[in-house]
Structure 1
Amino acid sequence: MKSNKEMEADDVSRRRRLRRALLVLSCTMLAVGNCAGPLIMRLYFIRGGNRIWLSSWLITAGWPVMPAILLISYLRRRSHNPEKAKPFLMKPGVFLASAAIGVLQGLDDYLYAYGEAKLPASTAGLVISTELAFTAGFSFILVKQKFTAHSVNAVYVLTMAAAVLAVRSNDDRWKGESTAEYVFGFAMMLAAAALYGAILPLIELMNKKVVKTAEISYTVVLEIQAVICFSATAFCTVGMLINKDFQAIPREAREFQLGEGKYYLVIACSAVVWQLFFVGAIGVIFCASSLFSGIVTTLLLPVTEILAVVFYKETFHAEKGIALALSLWGFFYYFYGEMAANRTKATAPETVDQMLIAQEA
C-alpha cells in the first residue's frame, strides 16, 4: 500500500501530465485558428466583402460551441455527484470581470477587422505582431511576469523577425488606396495589437484571482471564455445593428465573387476557426502564461505569410524567409530557457506541494 507521500507524488505527476496534454491541445487549436482566421477574413475582403462590423462579429460569433461543451461537463459531474454538481462554477465577480474583458475584446475585434480590410497581408502581420511587446509589458505590470535572459532574448528576436517584414510592406500596398486610408488602417491595427496585448495578461490576472478563492479547473476556464466571447459578440452586434450589416448580408452574398453559397461557407468557417483560436489562447494562458500565448502567436506569423503565398499567390520575398528563420530561433530559444529553468527547479530541495505550486504559479 502506498504511503501518503507516494500518493501525493502520483497525484502531482497525474496533474502535470494532464496539464501538458491540455497545453499541447491548446497550442494546436491556437495554431489552427491563428493561421486560418486571418486567411479566411482576407478571402472575404478580396472577393468582394466589405462589412467590417460583420467581420469583427464573426471573430467571436462561434461562442455557442462552448456552452455545449460545458453542458457535457456538467452532466458528467452530475452523474458522479448529483447533490453537489453545479451548472456554473465561476463566481459572480469573475462573471462580471469576464463580461468587462469581453467588451474590450469586441472593441479589439473591430480594430483588427478594420486593419485587415485596409492593409496588405505583410503590413497587417507586421503591425499585429507588435502585440508580443505589448503583452510582455502588460504581463510585467499586471501579473509580475518574471523575465529571464532567454525570454527577453526570445521577445527581442521575435520582434526583429516581425520588423524584417516591414522592408517590402510598401510593395504590397492595395492599388488605389489613399495615404489617409493606409495610415488610418495602420493606426487601427496597432491599436488592436496594443489592446490585445493588455487583454491576455488581464485574463491571466483573473485566473490568478480565481485560484486564490477557489479551485480552478479547465471547466472554469471555458466558462470564462464563453462569457468573454458572448460579451464581445454582443458589443459587435450593436455595431452591426447601427451599421445595418444584417440587412446587407443577403445583397453582399449575391454579389460575392465566389458565389452566394461559398459566401455563407466563408462566414461559417470564419466563426469556427476564430473560436478555435480563442479557446486555444485561453488554454495556453491557463496551462502556461499570457506571455507564452503571445510568443506562440508571434511564431505563427511567418507561417501565415507562407500560407498567404500558397493560397493567394502573394510574393515570397527573401525577407519573409529571414523572418521565418528568426521566429523559429526565438521560439526555440524561449522553449530551451523554460526547460532549463524547470530542470533547475527539479533539482532544488522542494517538497511535492512546493513543486506543484511552482508549476501552477
Structure 2
Amino acid sequence: MENTREMELQVRVENKELKSQKSSKDTTTTQLKLPTVKHYKWWFRVSLYILFLLTGQSAATLLGRLYYDKGGNSKWMATFVQSAGFPILIPILLYFLQSKKILSSNNDPRKRPTVSTLLLLFLFFGLFSAGVNLMYSYGLLYLPVSTYSLICATQLAFNAIFSFLLNSQKFTALIFNSLVLLTVSASLLAVQPGNSTKVSEGKYIIGFLCTVGASAAFSLMLSLSELTLKKVLKIQTFDAVLMMQIFPSFVATCACVVGLFASGEWKTLGSEFKTYQMGRVSYVMNLFWTAVSWQVSSVGMLGLIFEVSSLFANVISTVSLPAIPILAVIFFHDKMDGVKIIALILAIWGFLSYVYQHYLDDVKAKSSTSMPNEEDSDYDLDSSI
C-alpha cells in the first residue's frame, strides 16, 4: 500500500511539473510574439509618416517655386499657405476625439497639462512657425529650387546639436560622419553665384542666409516639439500629433494675415491673380495644393518625432534631396552644374550613413526584445534611434 501511495504521489508531482513547464513555455512564446506584432505595427506607422513627409515636402517645395516663377511675388502669401491648410485636419481630429478619450497616457486629470499651458505652447509654436516659414519663403524666392533644397540639409546638423542638448541624443561615428557630409554639401552651395535665379548677388546672399537661418530655427522647433510631446504633454496617441499641428498652424495663419496687411502686400494680390501666367484657376489651385501639401508634410514630420525622434524625422526629410533637384531640372530647367552634383552626392552619402546607423540600432533593439527573460517585452522606440 505504501508503495502504491508513493507511486501516486510521484505521478502527481510529475504531472504538476509537466503543467508548469507547459505554462512556462506558453508564456515565453507569448512574450516572443507580442514584441514582434508591436514591432511591425510600429514600422507600419513610421512608414506611413515617412510617406506623408516625403510626398508633402517635395510637392510643396515645387509648387512654391512654381508660384514665384509664374508671376507670384508675395512673400507673405507664400508664408500664409504653409500653415493655412490646417482645416483639412480638423475632421480627422474630431474622428479620433469621438472614438477615444482625450490624449493622455495617464488618466489622472491632475497630471494632464492645464488649458493655460496648452494655450502658451500653441501660441509659442505658432508664432515661431510663422517666422520660420517667412524665412523659407525668402529663400525659395531668391534661390534656385535645387540650391534651396540642398541648403535645407543643414537643418540636420543643427537638429543634431539641439537633439544632443535638449533630447539626450547619442552620437556615433556614423552619425557624426553624416552631419559633416551634409554640412559640407550645403556649404559648397554658398559660393555659387545667383545668376540662375536672375537676381542680384545681394538678394542671392539674403536668400542663402534666410534659408540657413530658417533651417536652424526649424531644427530648434523640432527638438522643442519632441521635448513638448514626451516631457510636457506626455501623450501617446495620434490625437497629439494632430493637435500639435492644428492649433499652432491656426496661430501662424493669423500672424501671416497680420503680416500680409501690415506689409501692404495684400494690395498686389488682385493683380497677381489676374496676371498669373497659368491662369486664374491655376493660381488658386497652386495655393490650395501648396497648403495641403505642407499640412501632409507637417503631420508626417510630427508623427516621426512622436514615434522616434526629431533627429530621425529630420534625416528622413533629407531623402527628398535627390528627388527635388532632379525634378527641378525637369520642370524648372535649373542648371545642375558640377558643384551641385558634388553637393548632391555628399548629401546622399551623409543620408545613407545615418540610415545605416539606424539599421544597426534597430537590429540591436530587435535582438534585445527577443530575449524571453526580459521584464519589459515592449519595443523600445527611444532605443531604436
Instruction: Report the TM-score range of the alignment, normalised by the length of the smaller protein.
Output: 0.7 to 0.9
> Do structure 1's residue 198 and structure 2's residue 220 form an aligned pair?
yes
Quick one: which of 204, 225, 229 aligns to 1:207? 229
Q: 1:328 to 1:180 in 2, by over 3 A?
A: closer
- What SS is found at the alignment partner of 1:147? coil
Q: Which amino acid aligns with 1:193?
A: S
Quick one: which of 189, 202, 214 aligns to 1:180? 202
Question: 1:264-343 alignment to 2 at 5 Å?
Answer: 264-343=284-363
Q: 1:299 Cα shift?
A: 3.2
Which of 147-156 and 14-23 deviates more?
Answer: 14-23
Quick one: which of 83, 102, 120 aligns to 1:96? 120
TM-score by length of 2: 0.81
Q: Distance in 1 between matches of 2:194 and 2:76?
A: 28
- What SS is found at the alignment partner of 1:59? coil
Counterpart in 1 of 2:17?
Answer: none
Question: 1:122-133 alignment to 2 at 5 Å?
Answer: 122-133=146-157
Q: 1:188 to 1:214 in 2, by over 3 A?
A: closer
Q: 1:247 Cα shift?
A: 4.8
Counterpart in 1 of 2:49?
Answer: 26
Q: Which amino acid aligns with 1:276?
A: V
Q: Which 5+ residue runs of structure 1 have no aligned equivalent?
A: 79-83
Quick one: which of 249, 258, 267 aligns to 2:269? 249
Q: Which amino acid aligns with 1:181?
A: K
> Do structure 1's residue 46 and structure 2's residue 66 form an aligned pair?
no
Residues 302 and 323 in structure 1, CA contact (< 8 A), matched pair in contact too: no
Q: 1:294 Cα shift?
A: 1.6
Q: Distance in 2 between matches of 1:171 and 1:249?
A: 27
Q: Which amino acid aligns with 1:192?
A: A
Q: Distance in 2 between matches of 1:251 and 1:101?
A: 33
Q: 1:258 to 1:64 in 2, by over 3 A?
A: same
Q: 1:214 to 1:126 in 2, by over 3 A?
A: closer
Q: 1:352 to 1:341 in 2, by over 3 A?
A: farther
Residues 107 and 235 in structure 1, CA contact (< 8 A), matched pair in contact too: no
Q: Which amino acid aligns with 2:231?
A: K
Aligned length: 349
Counterpart in 2 of 1:219?
Answer: 239
Q: 1:351 to 1:184 in 2, by over 3 A?
A: same
Q: 1:96 to 1:4 in 2, by over 3 A?
A: farther
Q: Distance in 1 between matches of 2:257 and 2:60?
A: 19
Percent of paired sites with the same residue? 31
Q: 1:183 to 1:339 in 2, by over 3 A?
A: closer
Q: Which amino acid aligns with 2:308?
A: A
Q: 1:195 Cα shift?
A: 0.7
Q: 1:293 Cα shift?
A: 1.5
- Superposition CA RMSD, Å: 2.8
Which of 124-133 and 19-28 deviates more?
Answer: 124-133
Q: Distance in 2 between matches of 1:341 and 1:267?
A: 41
Counterpart in 2 of 1:150?
Answer: 174
Q: 1:94 Cα shift?
A: 4.0
Q: Distance in 1 between matches of 2:354 and 2:114?
A: 35
- What SS is found at the alignment partner of 1:144? coil
Quick one: which of 252, 255, 280 aligns to 1:232? 252
Residues 49 and 299 in structure 2, CA contact (< 8 A), matched pair in contact too: yes
TM-score by length of 1: 0.86
Residues 97 and 239 in structure 2, CA contact (< 8 A), matched pair in contact too: no
Q: 1:77 Cα shift?
A: 3.0
Q: Which amino acid aligns with 1:170?
A: P
Quick one: which of 110, 126, 133 aligns to 1:109? 133
Question: 1:160-179 alignment to 2 at 5 Å?
Answer: 160-166=184-190, 169-170=192-193, 172-175=195-198, 177-179=199-201
Quick one: which of 86, 93, 97 aligns to 1:63? 86
Q: Distance in 1 between matches of 2:126 and 2:352?
A: 32
Which of 312-321 and 271-280 deviates more?
Answer: 312-321
Residues 153 and 186 in structure 2, CA contact (< 8 A), matched pair in contact too: yes
Which of 59-68 and 296-305 deviates more?
Answer: 296-305
Deviations 1:220-268 (A, max 9, x none): 1211111221221122121112234445333211011111111111111
Which of 254-263 and 157-166 deviates more?
Answer: 157-166
Which protein shows a greater Rg? 2
Q: Distance in 1 between matches of 2:89 and 2:310?
A: 21
Q: Distance in 1 between matches of 2:220 and 2:147?
A: 22
Which of 121-130 and 343-352 deviates more?
Answer: 343-352
Q: Distance in 2 between matches of 1:188 and 1:214?
A: 34
Q: 1:18 to 1:244 in 2, by over 3 A?
A: farther
Q: 1:315 to 1:119 in 2, by over 3 A?
A: closer
Residues 31 and 377 in structure 2, CA contact (< 8 A), matched pair in contact too: no
Residues 167 and 223 in structure 2, CA contact (< 8 A), matched pair in contact too: yes
Q: 1:246 to 1:352 in 2, by over 3 A?
A: farther
Q: 1:283 to 1:256 in 2, by over 3 A?
A: same
Which of 320-329 and 199-208 deviates more?
Answer: 320-329
Q: Which 5+ residue runs of structure 2 have no aligned equivalent?
A: 1-22, 102-106
Q: Which amino acid aligns with 2:203?
A: E
Q: Distance in 1 between matches of 2:266 and 2:29?
A: 60
